[in-house]
Structure 1
């Protein structure tokens, strides 16, 4: 079963904060001018980074791009699956959905889409 590109995962603690998981396809070694969000579809978010795919450089660059676009601290953005793959699952922690999961996901999708359109 394929997961949607953006999904909410509730925290196991008693707080209202949870995680947003992003399914990403990363293109390392891109031209510096192309760095950023390329496209957002229902299944995947495409990201280009200028860093090379060695010693975690591309993963660090992905964290920086997403942190910048979503205006979220880098410490809350983590690659949780696909450390050595172009297909990655990124977890963004500390997300407060305020009781409306779909509105939160729509807001994040809009931010990512806006960055892709630039």
Structure 2
């Protein structure tokens, strides 16, 4: 299993996750870990139009990380497929563990 911990950095009070998002997928899913870029690959069903994919991404992460949606935000990359997501109240090791547990699950 890939080491998602390489994509998660600790911050004061939480974590930052480096991700690469692919919109217009058949379903929301953690697709894998890109070792070269150090990013978690995530597919979302929504289109990248008027923030739809970003909203779907945050809902999906809230669900799989089992944290309230108000504890998740886009730190950088709102208009890019490469993003940094800020997670409040979840340490990096636990964040990576939950991402790994959701890998491949829809």
TM-score tier after normalising by the smaller chain length:
0.7 to 0.9
Partner of 1:101: none
Partner of 1:81: 76
Displacement of 1:88: 0.3
Distance 1:91 1:69 in 2: 15
Partner of 1:7: 9
Q: Which aligned pairs between 1:24-35 and structure 2 lie closer than 5 A?
A: 24-32=19-27, 35=28
Distance 2:75 2:53 in 1: 14
Give the conservation status (yes or no) of the 8 Å contact 1:40–1:112.
no
Distance 2:87 2:39 in 1: 16
Partner of 2:32: 39
Give the conservation status (yes or no) of the 8 Å contact 1:80–1:91.
yes
- How many residue pairs match? The answer is 98
Q: TM-score, normalised by structure 2?
A: 0.84
Instruction: Give the alignment's Cα RMSD to 1 decimal.
Output: 1.4
Q: Secondary structure at the match of 1:24?
A: strand
Larger Rg: 1
Structure 1 unaligned residues grouped into runs of 5+:
11-17, 96-103
Could you give the per-residue CA deviations for residues 11-43 of structure 1, whole angstroms, max 9, x where no partner exists?
Answer: xxxxxxx121000000001112xx121113551
Which 4+ stretches in 1 moved above 3 angstroms?
none
Q: Secondary structure at the match of 1:67?
A: helix
Q: TM-score, normalised by structure 1?
A: 0.76
Q: Which aligned pairs between 1:1-118 and structure 2 lie closer than 5 A?
A: 4-10=6-12, 18-32=13-27, 35-41=28-34, 43-95=38-90, 104-118=91-105
Structure 2 unaligned residues grouped into runs of 5+:
1-5
